[in-house]
A and B are shown apart, each in its own frame.
Chain A
Amino acid sequence: MLRTQLLKGVLDIAVLAILDEEPSYGYAILTRLEESGLHDVGDASVYGTLRRLEDVGHLRSQMVSSESGPPRRYFSLTPTGRAALEAGAVEWGELQDALATLLDGRDGRGR
């Protein structure tokens, strides 16, 4: 449950990071998250996140025809999305450091 809540908090950064590598579509993004070890993210969360990020201008999308199926909506970063990714990465680093400090202190008391 905690993991799920944490993932929801950082899913924006994760999705932006994946799309920073290359434009992609919903299912491929979900697969990429799973390959990265984030198995607890559901399709609805990815789909909803993509739509929300697009609504706020961090992503743009276009339909691309596919030989093996229906057209796919490919998402890519906009400049504001890239800026959001940079800012998110900084925030995550700070958060990670802060949390590591707290947890290290806990380990010290334990010893």
Chain B
Amino acid sequence: MKLMPWTSRGTAADAYATAVGRELRDLRREPRRRLITDLRSHLAELPSGSDLATVLGPPQQYADDLRVSRGIAPPRGWGRIRRVRLRVWIAVLFALSTVIVGTVGGIWISRYQPLERGSFSNLPGAEGDRAFGATNVVVDYQQGATYQFNFSLRNSGGVAVDVVHIPLQQLLDFPIVFEEVRLEQPGKYCCAGDAVPFQPFTLNPGEERGLVFRGVLSHCQSFTNGAYSTIESLEVDFRVLGITKSQQVMLPQPIAVRMPGTGTPQCPLPRRPQEGPPNGTGSDTLYVLSGGTALVVQAIAPVPGSGDLARASWTRSTSCSDSPPPGLTAVPVDLIVSRNFGSAGAKNSPVPVDLHFAMDNSANPGAVILAQPESPAHCIRSGPFHIEQLDNGDMYVMHGVAELQTGTCGAQMIKVDANGQSAGDVRLDVACPPGVTPPPLP
């Protein structure tokens, strides 16, 4: 029988004996050392030609057989645990560490709210009552008046954040319709003379940046004479460590709008923020098709000096034949207010659009409806639409920013669940379908 050279066989035997020794780590040191030393010489006697693990089986099995034949008790308790290979323990510890770090990091990020008002603020108005820990600024409602305020936003956290968006549509039910937020130059907190339209910016730890908010007192139909409507915070979307979050940032002072004591202010219906239709004058039309009904929306530019920002209204046309979503025939979809037209006025070119869709659930007592956009299609290229829940007899607003091409066909599929069951899709087209004639303005 030909044997492998001693040195080669000895090396393989050493490795196998060491592996067996690892399986016997529960034994006391000296007996184990003696056992393994003898085992090396014993294994070296074996003929060459095959891998030891193949001939003798896995080291663990060998160790188990060795225990039985030598009358050694099987490992118990900690000894059994020690038999697990070191790399397995390392993998387990690494996985546990990853889970712990991930969990702690996730909790930290989920609770991370680093933004707060900074050192500067300017909120015009009369001094009012104390509320929310600060004294209200009282603004008397005056139809069409502009209201502008400034404050600086500070990053009080220890990590740089990117402020990516300040959604103004959050304040739809507030008497001040905020049209615009502008960004002060770094280091400036006053006067807004050289402020630029909002764009994402970075706030390093401890850093501040001035913001200018401009709105118009133009939304009062929901309020009774003499009533107050107050806001105390604004939503700010920011990104930290690659994760986008939202935070309600407390205003330096709550802003309370006081309605006139008598009379009914003339309130324009849905308003269009920012710029007017193409070329700043004239009108434009949106067609929203939903559930077999085309909602034809017209918007006109504000009449200079009228106090109106824009008018928009909607009517229904049945000339379009979209199938209604199953189970949702009684759910009307309403378009509250519309879009930015883009000052360049170039139709058939993508323009950002603020879309605010209201879904009225008042005709469905007991129904809970969830609406969620599916993937954008055609000309409406991006969301995100907020997911809204429509409770019993309630009306909520879906809103989001999309990009569409005016004058061309576009569609957005909106998935609707009613009472937890899929109720099909609502298709929203914003387009000018053939054969639909825009109705006259109301």
* Residues of chain A whose beta carbon lies under 8 Å from any beta carbon of chain B: 8, 11, 25-27, 42-49, 51-52, 63, 68-73
CB distance from B11 to the nearest CB of A (A): 12
Say yes or no: A42-B6 contact (C-beta < 8 A), given A27-B46, A27-B47: no
Chain A hits for B41, CB < 8 A:
63, 70-71, 73
* Cβ contacts under 8 Å, A68 to chain B: 1-3
B38/A51 in contact, CB under 8 A? yes
Contact check, B3 vs A44: say whether CB atoms are below 8 A apart: no
1/0 per residue, CB under 8 A from A, across B358-386: the answer is 00000000000000000000000000000
Chain B residues with CB under 8 Å of A51's CB are: 35, 38, 70
Q: List 15 A-B contacts (CB under 8 A).
A: A8-B69, A11-B69, A42-B65, A44-B61, A45-B65, A45-B66, A45-B68, A47-B69, A48-B66, A51-B38, A52-B69, A69-B9, A69-B45, A70-B41, A70-B45
B69 partner, pick from A48, A70, A71, beta carbons under 8 A: A48
Q: B432 within 8 Å of A by Cβ? A: no
The total number of A-B Cβ pairs within 8 Å is 70
Question: Residue of B at shortest CB range from A63?
Answer: B41
The size bracket of the interface on B is 20 to 34
B47: chain A residues at CB < 8 Å are 27
CB-defined contacts of B39 to chain A, threshold 8 Å: 47
Contact with A along B24-45 (1 / 0, CB 8 A): 0000000000010011011011
B124 within 8 A of A: no
List the A residue with the shortest CB-CB distance to B57. A42
B44 to chain A, nearest CB (A): 5
Contacts of B45-77 to chain A: CB distance below 8 A? 45-47, 55-57, 61-71
Closest Cβ of chain B to A18, distance in Å, is 15
* Complex contact A70–B9 (CB within 8 A): yes
A-facing residues in B1-22 (Cβ within 8 Å): 1-4, 6, 9-10
Find chain B residues with CB under 8 A from A73 CB: 38, 41-42, 45
For A47, the closest partner residue in chain B by CB is: B42
Residue of B nearest to A61 (CB): B38
Across the A-B interface, the 10 shortest Cβ-Cβ residue pairs: A48-B69, A44-B65, A69-B3, A48-B70, A45-B69, A44-B66, A44-B62, A70-B44, A48-B66, A70-B6
Residue of chain B at shortest CB distance from A45: B69
Assuming A48-B66, A48-B69, is B10 touching A42 (CB within 8 A)? no
Residues of A within 8 A of B67 (CB): 48
Q: Give the residues in chain A near B46, CB-CB below 8 Å.
A: 27, 43
Q: Which of A11, A43, A48 contacts B56 (CB 8 A)?
A: A43
User: How many Å lie between the Cα of A68 and that of B62 in the bound state?
Assistant: 26
Rounded to whole angstroms, the CA-CA distance of A44 and B52 in the bound complex is 12
Q: What B residues does A11 contact at CB under 8 A? A: 69
Give the chain A neighbours of B70 by CB distance below 8 A.
Answer: 48-49, 51-52
**Which of A26, A44, A71 makes the CB contact (< 8 A) with B63?**
A44
Q: Which partner residue on chain A sits nearest B68 by CB separation? A: A8
The docked-state distance in angstroms from the alpha carbon of A109 to that of B7 is 62
* Bound complex: CA A26 to CA B35 (Å): 15
**Which of A45, A49, A51 has the largest count of B CB atoms less than 10 A from its CB?**
A51
Q: Of the candidates B2, B6, B38, B69, which one forms a contact with A49 in the assembled complex, judged by CB atoms under 8 Å apart? A: B69
In the complex, chain A residues whose CB is within 8 Å of the CB of B42: 26, 47, 73
Q: Evaluate contact between B68 and A48: CB separation under 8 angstroms.
A: yes
Supposing A69-B3, A70-B44, A73-B41 touch, asked if A47 and B10 sit within 8 A by C-beta, the answer is no
> Do residues A47 and B66 form an inter-chain contact, with CB atoms below 8 A?
yes
Inter-chain pairs besides A42-B57, A44-B65, 18 sampled, C-beta below 8 Å: A8-B69, A25-B45, A43-B56, A44-B61, A44-B64, A44-B66, A45-B65, A45-B69, A49-B69, A52-B69, A52-B71, A63-B41, A68-B1, A69-B6, A69-B9, A69-B44, A70-B41, A71-B41
**Shortest Cβ distance from residue A97 to the other chain B in the assembled complex, whole angstroms:** 27
A44 to B45, CA, bound (A): 13
Instruction: Give complex CA distance A70, B13 in Å.
Output: 12
Complex CA gap A71/B63 in Å reads 23
Residues of B contacting A46 in the complex (Cβ-Cβ under 8 angstroms): 69
Give 1 or 0 for each of B70-91: 1 = CB within 8 Å of chain A CB: 1100000000000000000000
Closest B residue to A49 by beta carbon equals B69
Q: Which of A26, A48, A52 contacts B65 (CB 8 A)?
A: A48
Report Cα–Cα, A15/B166, bound state, in Å.
87
Instruction: Name the distance in Å between A88's Cβ and chain B's nearest Cβ.
Output: 16
